[in-house]
Structure 1
Amino acid sequence: MSKVYDYIVIGSGFGGSVSAMRLAEKGYDVLVIEKGKEIDVKNFPKTNWDFKRFYWAPLFKWFGILKLTLFKDVFVISGVGVGGGSLGYANTHMYPSDLFFENPIWANQVPGKFNGKGWKEVLEPFYQKARFMLGSVKNKIFNRDDEILKEVAKDMGMEASFGGVNVGVYFGDQEKEVDPYFKGLGPLRKGCTECAGCMIGC
């Protein structure tokens, strides 16, 4: 049996899954193709030293969640599995500084295209939507490892660059499952246990 799709999306990570969802919401028939498998919670690695479950390297019979690709000028870490890079991205939601948006290398690439608006103004509604969808909040946890990072930053004369970042983490009750964002239409989740499992699958 063959099927004709309006759109075929390759990859189920942040880009692919959101694109597929938005297209499906508009009524299009969408097929999502993913290289990796669906990862059950019990199959996430407990540590990144569990190479077989953490890294994707079929040559070694490792079928984990993260693939490392080295090119001439860049080293890429990408996700493999349903969810793509979201499987182990440390839940970090960095928001670019004004220096990024105003960088002349690309800031003026489309003059007049956005009715006089700059990139920051144009992209801000989408950043807001992403923050809402991902439950992005300021990290509330500050432990000994953070103290060490702050000390190192101070030693380097970069203390002003140290600070909490926004993360896609729910800091509510650790025992009670709730849908804190979508009024029962989203996934259930428990509060963060501060286990540092953000990198290996939460």
Structure 2
Amino acid sequence: MDYTDFDKASQSPWNRAMYDDIVKTLVARCETIDKSLFTRDNPAVLDIGSGPGGLSLAFLRKIPLKEISLLDLREDGLEKAKERIHKEHPNTQVHIIKADIHEIPLKESSYDLIISRGSIRFWENQEEALKEIRRILKPDGIAYIGGGRGSAAFQERRLKEDNEWFPDNYNMDPSSIKKIPSKKLEDWEYERLFEAYGDSYEIYSHLGDGHWILWKKGERL
């Protein structure tokens, strides 16, 4: 994959604002499940499917960290993300991990928070991928995984102010949307997995807001 166009788009003012909006929601939702997460001393954070770093950059703008880890299959994307983070956050150490989500070369119980936007639909074996995420989460670790273009309020504002943005699927009935091929499971299948784990979770599936899974290891709500 050529990252040139994708990276250029991800750095546009509106896409930067989109990631900031996503992170704002991410933080608010994570705090509903654990208010102490962002008060910990330098929580260990991993961005899965990081690409050129849009989500990580927005996260660091909201929650400054001494270090952050990025995982992706494509080395060029990882290197671009590292370069961008060093430019915007020179005091943050970046660890890049070129690996498949199904075989993460990390020890168990490594991370306080795992985030991911836009990659879950490509995971060939959803159950194995989630098992790997759970394995490397700390006992009270949280994962926030999914995809979307920002909150409904943000998208409404963008639709009014960004003359070049015309999302085909905005504010449409999900049943009428032509879907991009996806490996994702149905919500009830994710629920079954989390119930079997004995973990707490919340699935957000709102029209205009995307689809997100909030998940805390080892603690049922």
Same fold (TM over 0.5): no
TM-score (ref. length: structure 1): 0.28
Report which of the two has the higher share of strand: 2
Report which of the two has the higher share of helix: 2
Larger radius of gyration: 1
